[in-house]
Structure 1
């Protein structure tokens, strides 16, 4: 097989300002990680240290190392240097001779460099220019000013092809990293070079015709034998390659195929595909499935939903940002932890947001395995972008790499042209709107053409939000078609009942902020700053509106918490309540609404944000609520603000019928039941049904300040599986409710597979009962829950490091809503 040298590992890092001094560095990796490891900068995540590391973004950085070249490598006819995820303006020299220059972190360069190599010891240098200064140069060459969103603190990043959020965002630190974030290799070949592998699938009843495709590059015309292995068969194609790009195909038939399904809809079956030449072997895991984005007129407007293997699937998920502001920390373990948390919370879709990056291969491989459909934005967000010939050519270069790289993944569901860019044409200079629209159209049409040319089987969605191809409606306010971004609750300061006023076809962004937990806050905030309006807490709040909206909303729903820790806890209760209100109501609207993707899943540093998972992987209360409100079968109660009726719904996302029974028990806050209702129904696959509509008079006998309603659902599936679900409905806002103090007790014992059982009991109803284990990372099977007297609950805690029942019991902390005020 072809020889290869991995250039990853130990390098040295320097810059002109250091006058020859260097420090140790790692590639793949970044300059800031090297600076931190060398003790040359303080931790940017602590306090306000971010301000102390900004000078380095204007430096040029040079990574250098020596490496050995064996004779075997030089015996190959061609030797290629793989330059992937170079951030961003880099020039590579091998033995003092220029090999390549890059200008796009999202593209890949593979220069042929055999003539630059020699037997024995060689030297490679990679110099990165300041992206900030290169962006400034780009601005000077634009035909007219191209406005940029103010979330980023580094100007003109919309003019270059670097992750926009490196310059900061309304949840993100400004850390303008430079480095290489993918394997850096030298590969020798004698014939064609395999650049990408994918499949083309034709599905019929009990049969899939699967064509394996290998994209090969040849320096000059040659013949190459390409062997394909799939589903127990082997086929060899003796291909005649022309200079440049070539496609080699082999057709396979799969009878009675095992299909790939999204999480919650079925198994994630994957078939190994191997493509081999004399020089290289490439392996891919292939899911057999169809995905159609249905976008057509109906009685409500124009639909948007995903049809997988002929089944209409309600999309349940969250938006994804880069996993860490330090690129070197974007590891396989970090991806696995975050995406497993998404799977555990019953999500089936992740939206890769356009202000970040096309993710590493391992991200999509994990999504394949876990059944997480990927909504893939192209890397444009909230700003305007050039449409010059040079800029478009640069973007086409990245798409020529990214589309073939990613298209084999079963999880990849849709290509989206951008995030909110069509809306941004109206955010800036009003006199230039026409110019901005023409400019936008030039670039967006080229994106569309490239997807149609390279991946015609997938939908190209022009922008998020929009009504669909050629339908650029106001997706922030028009809920009749396509996808919607609904921000009236957070940015518009409306109360949570505003979610009942819209009926989106698919809501791909909506969110509410909270603070991280006290444990996470303590990791970046010194004790003398433990105040939500302190300088450090303000610094770790990047939204221009600051922390005031969180505290202001408290006044609508809650009594003011007593302590700093209670402030943090209550913000998470409030965040969970906001998103729960929207998701549960919108799920009842099926099939009118067929997807909710809240903003956002993760953080890239410790910060107050919309995330459901804190930096470091700790679940906020929202993530636990998501596990419940994204459950396959739920019961929920909604009070209609127009007619005052309280409606109880049962909603199923199952592919088969199920029989459900819902009991609704009205109790007082001492826990004494006052009235019991029971409803039964047989739900069709994917059905939402209103089981009961209570007129205001029917519930008038219950003082809303003294009572609540507990919903219990039991479901029997066609295959005999039994499901259960619990939900709590309040008749009044929490600040009016006469909650009682409760004596919540815990008992911990060792469980199975390294887990622990934590049993909770109480003498009075306790709401949003939340367990925390400072110093012991892990995930509870449930949390932020309702606990009733006489009904103990046993939770399973799965630790992420070794611990004992005694240690866990000592660390365990319990909070609940009534405990936060006197």
Structure 2
């Protein structure tokens, strides 16, 4: 008979903790001195809360705190345990970051070397009734990684530190968008479990659809104590119940429940997201979770155009409108159910249906995947390998296998889980980044991506597709980043070439691409204090991690927008150019449908205040890019595209209903209300399909290219614009619009009325109040039109103008 009792050893469970620096380059007076700690937590956040360090995100503090990652830290607590008559006691650590030694009452329990897995230590006979002392000592992560490199040799990697020597969050050591704040600490729950008889070790409930029925195959792993007797395993779901009685020592039990006429789970935009409660009981031990019944496949069978990448749910192909996801804060213990929901709702509100959990981060918490299940956001889950070669020798290989098995077991239940992906850019790196000479024939990770990981997925989660890497062409004899095959990353745009280069590609599926821009003004100035504020100021460059990042922002303006005259113009121009570049790429990709089957932009979120590729900045403010994504990720998209024979209107209908509408194309003057030519035509786009319509010469050819533009409107509201020249050659009126302000119950409205073309109007209320949020951005108005921006969270100003209200007009005139 099981009698499981749990003692919570976290701060929330009432256990007091301290942390102290044991040895290393810590400031004088800190070595050996205990500081109050929070568990779960990280040493940086503990030191910050105690007033021992300044905010790592502010100014240039990051570099001043690098000593933390080179210092050994010891976490200590005392707790009382009451003997409960159970036979076995275990210390369960869900997450230790990273190289740690665990000691209870002076007896070493073991060492750990993997942030990405849990550990269970038998403390029977070591744990005593009454007072107990627990100590967990962590090596400095940077020195630990360097020590492993000295022992095992160097393996090629990006960035400064040899993060690939440890199974630790790679971006924690610094990335081209994130700070170098290599952490240590007890980062996930910690507890004592006391039990007898049998306990549930793990549960894998794999839910699929067969005909109209839902079929749940549940695999229950059991752990037995000495003297156990027979146990009954029961699985309940959707009004059904299956049970079996097993003998002591039985390791795994499989039960199958069939739920008739099941409600099927769909991604958002394709149907509802019904979730079913699952309860597993083994004698007195129980386990609860939710599942959604769905089938997911990925088609990579060669076709006449190369190799597709078509993700289908319940037999229906899904056009992927997604974003890459990085850890939502550089200090991941600051994240919780509320922060996850807020950030995932940023994806939902932008029209996305997929988030890719990138391989340089973490296997996210249950809250992340639960919200994705609820909101219908598909999850592409990378295994945690990024931009580096990895040893396939021991002890790393065993750690990789252990973490992969635990991750697949834990996450396989989630309806939203759509793809397991072996790595980020490592196959591409081996082919093209000069790794072969330093590797000198050593295995570099291919054995993980092409053998170990697919075997684990096939064994533990056969219902979910596996991809060896991103990018990948699904043939070892084809370059892994070939736009004709599989998934590709487009990074020559941003790094080397103008964003118009997107149109040179005809990608089957783009799993990374992006362009940088600064965060909101209030976010930027909260951490950058250069006087005067300058794109190349010292603190500004601390908050720009990309190589030559702000120079690339400048070069990226090209002929599109003028060089800035002041810092306000720099901020507006580079944010606008970011939004333009990414929207340009996505509109092109969608115009290629069905050849192209999806785009996953880099990136949705930031992990601190920084100039980056993110659509939502580190303070949660939606950048102009986010609003551009909302437009180009809409269910129905109109876009004007150039083809060999002239301009076309491409209409993509990513809904389950036909789109029948009348499209009016007007060639208009930029400096007034004159309509120079007009054409109207009917379009009918079947569900989940696209139509391309040629534009007649009367509208497609400008008489005076610098003074004209195209306005394309569908009868049901979708709008597109086309300009015959770049903005630097476009004639616009500076006084093309007026603005009025009116107070509302929760903020204020700003109504803008145009007397001529007003291009890309944007309101930045956070410049007046960092708490203010606006509902729209990048709004273009033709003469006679009006638009109302609604601002919430702040009081109304008397008037708005530059730099709060911006447009292309005020940059060019």
Match of 1:141 in 2: 151
CA distance in 2, matches of 1:247, 1:779: 52
Do the aligned residues in 1 keep the contact of 2:209 with 2:264 (CA within 8 Å)?
A: no
* Cα distance in structure 2, aligned partners of 1:804 and 1:359: 37
Q: For residues 400-434 of structure 1, give each alpha carbon's deviation from its aligned partner in whole angstroms, at most 9, with x where no partner exists.
A: 21110000001111111100111222423553567
Distance 1:27 1:438, change over 3 A: closer
The 8 Å contact of residues 196 and 216 in structure 1, kept in 2 or not, is answered as: yes
Partner of 1:508: 511
* 1:534 equivalent in structure 2: 537
Following TM superposition, by how much is the alpha carbon of 1:58 offset from its aligned partner in structure 2, in angstroms?
Answer: 0.9
* The one of 80, 98, 111 aligned to 1:88: 98
Partner of 1:58: 70
Cα–Cα, structure 1 residues 500 and 437, in superposed 2: closer, same or farther, change >3 Å? Answer: farther
Q: CA–CA distance in 2 between the matches of 1:120 and 1:680?
A: 81
> For residues 62 and 31 of structure 2, what CA distance do their matches in structure 1 show?
25
Select between 325-334 and 734-743 the one with higher mean Cα deviation. Answer: 325-334
Secondary structure of 2:395 counterpart:
helix
Label 1:158 to 1:283 Cα distance change in 2 as closer, same or farther (>3 A).
same
The whole-number CA distance in structure 2 between the counterparts of 1:657 and 1:712 is: 18
Structure 2 counterpart of 1:67, from 74, 79, 87: 79
Cα offset, 1:785, TM superposition = 1.5
Inter-CA distance 62–684: structure 2 relative to 1 (3 Å threshold): same
CA distance in 2, matches of 1:758, 1:251: 59
Aligned partner of 2:32 in structure 1 is: 20
Q: Secondary structure at the match of 1:15?
A: strand
CA contact (8 A) 1:529 1:537 kept: no
TM-score w.r.t. length of structure 2:
0.93
Distance 1:693 1:537 in 2: 46
Deviation at 1:694, TM superposition (A): 4.4
TM-superposed deviation, 1:336: 1.4
| Residue number in structure 2 paired with 1:98 | 108
SS of the equivalent of 2:494 reads: coil
- Corresponding position of 1:292: 297
Task: Choose the corresponding residue for 1:773, options 725, 750, 765.
Answer: 765
Counterpart Cα distance in 2 of 1:34 and 1:175: 13
Query: Which of 86, 93, 112 is 2:122 aligned to?
Result: 112
* 1:797 to partner: Cα distance: 4.4
Alignment of 1:328-347 (within 5 A): 328-347=333-352
Aligned residue number for residue 27 of structure 2? none
Q: Corresponding residue for 1:782?
A: 776
Shift of 1:795: 4.3
- Work out which of the residue numbers 469, 485, 502 in structure 2 matches 1:481: 485
Deviations 1:551-599 (A, max 9, x none): 1122321122222122111111101111111111111111111010011
User: C-alpha distance in 1, partners of 2:477/2:416?
Assistant: 26
* Equivalent-residue separation in structure 2 for 1:576 and 1:333 (angstroms): 27
The answer to which of 739-748 and 625-634 deviates more is 739-748
Q: Could you give the per-residue CA deviations for residues 218-241 of structure 1, whole angstroms, max 9, x where no partner exists?
A: 345653223322112344332334
Are 1:5 and 2:12 counterparts? Answer: no
Residue of structure 1 equivalent to 2:786: 792
Within 2, Cα distance between the matches of 1:56 and 1:388?
Answer: 29
- How many Å separate the matches in 1 of 2:322 and 2:529? 35
* Residue of structure 2 equivalent to 1:192: 198
Is 1:466 matched with 2:460? Answer: no
Runs of 4+ in 1 over 4 A off after TM superposition: 219-222, 436-439, 754-758, 795-799, 803-812
1:815 is aligned to 2:799: no
Give the structure 1 partner of residue 685 of structure 2: 683
C-alpha deviation, 1:790, in angstroms: 2.6
8 Å Cα contact 2:116/2:362 also seen in 1: yes
Cα contact 2:422–2:448 (8 A) shared by 1 = no
Residue 112 of structure 1: how far off its partner (Å): 2.3
- 1:128 aligned to which of 124, 138, 148: 138
Give deviations 1:6-44, integer Å, cap 9, x for gaps: 111141110224343111110111000011111211112
- TM-superposed deviation, 1:316: 0.7
Shift of the 622–440 alpha-carbon distance from structure 1 to 2, 3 Å rule, reads: same
Aligned partner of residue 569 in structure 1, secondary structure: helix
Separation in 2 of the partners of 1:138 and 1:768? 52
1:61/1:433 CA distance change after superposition, 3 Å: closer
- Cα distance in structure 1, aligned partners of 2:443 and 2:692: 44
Moved more, 620-629 or 113-122: 113-122
What is the CA RMSD across the aligned residues, in angstroms? Answer: 2.4
| 1:233 aligned residue | 240
TM-score (norm 1): 0.92
Residue aligning to 2:361: 356
Contact 2:208/2:463 (CA < 8 Å) preserved in 1?
Answer: no
Separation of aligned partners in 2, 1:185 and 1:746: 59
CA distance in 2, matches of 1:171, 1:436: 31
Query: Cα offset for 1:755?
Result: 7.5
Counterparts of 1:567-606 in structure 2, within 5 Å, are: 567-606=570-609
Q: After superposing the two structures, state which structure 1 stretch, 775-784 or 392-401, moved more.
A: 775-784
3-state secondary structure, aligned to 1:508? strand
